[in-house]
Amino acid sequence: MLKAKGFSRLGMRIPNHRRNGCRPGSVGRNLSIRTAFNPLEERRYFLTGFTLIELLVVISIMALLIALLIPVLRSARELSQRTVCLSNLRQLTLAWIVYAEEHDGKIVLNRDRSKSMIYSNEGWLGVAFRASMMSRAELLQHRQKGDLWPWIKDVDIYRCPRGRPGHRVTYAIVAAANGAPVEGTYLPGGTGYWKYAPFGRRIGSTVLRLTRLTEIVSPGAAQRAVFVDTGQTPSIDYDFHIEYLYPKWSEYSPPPIHHSDGVTLSMADGHAEYWKWKGRETVNMPRHIISAPRYSPANTTSECLKENYYEPQTEDGLYDLQRLQRATWGRLGY
């Protein structure tokens, strides 16, 4: 059966919107009131955007997020570089141990001297690492790269990623590990080789200046320091100079602070540690920058203390110094 036009199957009338002159969706509205189409209103609707206040709020939020993220990213980068540094220290210390085991227990000389002067090898670090204006390829071809080179033939292991620019080596061995004689730690009167590497004094079962692995007894190898990351080429005698008889820091061996106000170092058993300095005095110690100091590569700068010595004035500052002195010498000398 055909249904009438404009009627549904149930007989309800269906309005014809087109015939009434209105658009779909206008059912139920007052058809007598018709609003003319205004193109300006449509254009204003599409051009509506953020207000100045809204833009300032967004910019402020972005600046806050950036301010929060930058320290996190910087900390993550430092942690990654510290991990590399600790790995370098472990590898250097293992080479230091193997050298001694293959040389009748003798610890590698911690100084840079020619064979004719000390009747021995050149020391753990050769002059190639200090030669100025030498390319990486020329360094690899240089004959004097140090006594540990047979075991560590990667130039990058001799340097911390956070080291000062231009310095090919940033690690130093503490003076107690067959380094330059320090007052109160050695027996005088040696000749030949032992003039430059004298025997260490023994106090009880503690040998202050180490020349053989077997001398590391008390404290044990896990508590005697070997390498320290100084962040720059070590000055004077290639070692990290720590006093034994006095509670003071030396001018050319200031406490390293480039690892988030802390230091990385290795122990004689082969493991490496990170120490966060406890005292603000240790971190804020008066320092200055000098250009191309003695035994450093040309066109480089190094950091040292403003005075020849610095004696801590606070309890935390003294704690930091004594902690490193004990790890270096095995005990305090005052």
Evaluate whether residue 37 is within a structural domain.
Answer: no
Query: What range defines the domain where residue 269 resides?
Result: 63-329
Residue 53 lies in a domain: no
Mapping DSSP to helix (H, G, I), strand (E, B) and coil, where does residue 157 land? helix
Phi-psi region of 153 (alpha: psi -120 to 50; beta: other; left: phi over 0): alpha
pLDDT of residue 123: 85
On the question of pLDDT at 16 being above 60, the answer is no
Q: Within a domain: residue 334?
A: no
Query: What is the total count of domains within the chain?
Result: 1
Residue 175 lies in a domain: yes
Tell me the pTM: 0.76
| Residue 26: inside a domain | no
Neighbours of 266 (CB within 10 A): 26
Highest mean pLDDT among 124-128, 250-254, 281-285 belongs to 281-285
Least confident of 1-15, 46-60, 207-221: 1-15
- Tell me if 303 is assigned to some domain: yes
Per the model's pLDDT, the better-predicted residue between 167 and 270 turns out to be 270
Q: Is residue 83 part of a domain?
A: yes
Which of 27-41, 161-175, 258-272 comes out lowest in average pLDDT? 27-41
Cα-Cα-Cα-Cα torsion 301, 306, 312, 317, nearest 10 degrees, comes to -30
**What average pLDDT does the segment 156-165 reach?**
93
Helix (H) or strand (E) holding 64: helix 52-101
> What does R_g of the chain's alpha carbons equal in angstroms?
37
| Residues whose CB falls within 8 Å of the CB of residue 120, separated by 6 or more in sequence, listed in order | 109, 193, 197
What would the two tokens of residue 75 be? Answer: 């900390």
pLDDT in tens, 91-149: 999 999 999 999 999 999 886 554 434 434 568 988 888 766 677 888 888 888 899 99
Per-residue pLDDT at 243 exceeds 80 = yes
Chain-wide mean pLDDT for the chain? 82
189-192: long-range contacts at Cβ-Cβ below 8 A with a sequence spacing of 24 or more?
A: 192/118, 192/119
User: Quick check: is 102 in a domain?
Assistant: yes
